[in-house]
Amino acid sequence: QCQLNGLWRNEQDSLMEISALRDNGDFQGKYLTQVTLSSGCAHISPLKGIQQQPGEGGWPTFAFTVRWDKFSNATTAFVGQCFVDAGGKETLTTMWLLREAVGSLKEDWKATR
């Protein structure tokens, strides 16, 4: 069984802490990013998400959003799945989309990464 709650570190040394999951799969936590466009300082931002419980023998999927608090006018949505290898190591695999605010519809093309 993969446990989503706890402390996670990614390849860029950013940290994510997920609180205990509620019975309905909701969770919240904090994301401490080391990757910023504005400066080299780390920043803590709130996250909220939900985990879909897997069927028999499956691994849970999840989604969450991070509102980059106080240092960026952007939001990122992550989707992923949690796996456990034969040695018991838990791994989250994710894809993400970051949306920055832009000043006009003409600039929309450059707002999502």
Q: Which domains does the chain have, with CATH numbers?
A: 6-110 (2.40.128.30)
pLDDT tens, per residue, the chain with 113 residues: 788 889 998 888 888 999 878 989 999 999 988 766 555 666 788 999 999 876 666 788 999 999 887 667 889 999 999 998 999 999 999 999 999 889 999 999 999 98
pLDDT of residue 93: 93
| Closest to 62 measured CA to CA, from 101, 18, 102, 106 | 18
pLDDT of residue 29: 94
3-state helix, strand, coil in the chain (%, to 5): 5, 50, 45
pTM of this prediction? 0.83
pLDDT of residue 72: 75
Range 43-57 burial, b when 16+ CB lie within 10 A, else e: bebebebebeeeeee
